[in-house]
Amino acid sequence: MADSEYAPPKVWTWNKANGGRFANINRPIAGPTHDKDLPVGRHPLQLHSLATPNGVKVTVLLEELLALGHHGAEYDAWLIRIGDGDQFGSGFVAANPNSKIPALIDRGGPTPVRVFESGAILLYLAEKFGAFLPPDGPGRAECLSWLFWQMGSAPYLGGGFGHFYAYAPSKFEYPIDRFAMEVKRQLDVLDRRLAETEYLAGSDYTIADIAVWPWYGGLVNGWLYEAAEFLSVQDYGNLRRWADTIGERPAVRRGRMVNRIFGEPSSQLHERHDATDFETKTQDKLALPT
């Protein structure tokens, strides 16, 4: 059946909910909806996030930095429940005026530094600790090119394909076909690159891989939108090899758990304030009778 025709008005107005999974938090204006200060823990780095692909990028990098021995990367990770509208609290809006997770506040200096947008946070932390980013030359350029490729490409995967395939109140052929075509083109871009080199920026694992993996590694592993079969992800062998290699890293496994509120209780660490929390404060442990 053909999609029904829609005649846009001369001036769009917000006069009804748009439907779909996230209709209750969608609105055409910015700013806070309520007063709520952000909590502050004991570490200089304060992360306010949720374990969506964009949130996972940052927790993976922080866990990788800690695994390298960068003790200054210790952090408090506070849960932002976007379905409940936590991102519209006044404290969070002050940390990120765009009201999207993740948001990082670095309190390690005389004046707190806010960093928002996941790519900016990865770059900030990589430069702060001198890790997972080549210092100069062609390697740095390649790393940053793939980092920003992800920032520009993933909205077609998430807000485009993911929305119309999994979250929209009704399914229509045109937008699903349009965005499925683009996502498969992106998968082919990655697969061809990873036929040439071990990691996206070359022989070294960098923030480019950390940025791309939660989205496209998650997709080929069947974690996003239940769309692996629909998109024939088994056809992208080089991408699957790369996704499996990264997914086996202990720091990546830990990073996926932080601020996670879905899946097996043993995989959910709603808040992270110390390395020992992975052993004692996952949801399966907290649910045990006292």
Q: Give me the pLDDT at residue 61, please.
A: 98
Q: Give me the pLDDT at residue 15, please.
A: 86
Q: Give me the pLDDT at residue 23, please.
A: 73
| pTM attached to this predicted model | 0.95
3-state secondary structure the chain: CCCCCCCCCCCCCCCCCCCCCCHHHCCCCCCCCECCCCCCCCCCEEEEECCCHHHHHHHHHHHHHHHCCCHHHCEEEEECCHHHCHHHEHHHHHHCCCCCCCEEEECCCCCCEEEECHHHHHHHHHHHHCCCCCCCHHHHHHHHHHHHHHHHHHHHHHHHHHHHHHHCCCCCHHHHHHHHHHHHHHHHHHHHHHHHCCECCECCCCHHHHHHHHHHHHHHCCCCCCCCCCCCHHHCHHHHHHHHHHHCCHHHHHHHHECCCCCCHHHCECCECCCCHHHHCCHHHHCCCC
Q: Give me the pLDDT at residue 272, please.
A: 98
Compute mean pLDDT per 10 residues along the chain, 290 residues long, and list them. 76 82 84 97 98 98 98 98 96 98 97 98 98 96 98 97 95 96 98 98 98 98 97 98 98 98 97 98 84
Q: Give me the pLDDT at residue 209, please.
A: 98
Q: Give me the pLDDT at residue 1, please.
A: 43
Q: Give me the pLDDT at residue 289, please.
A: 64
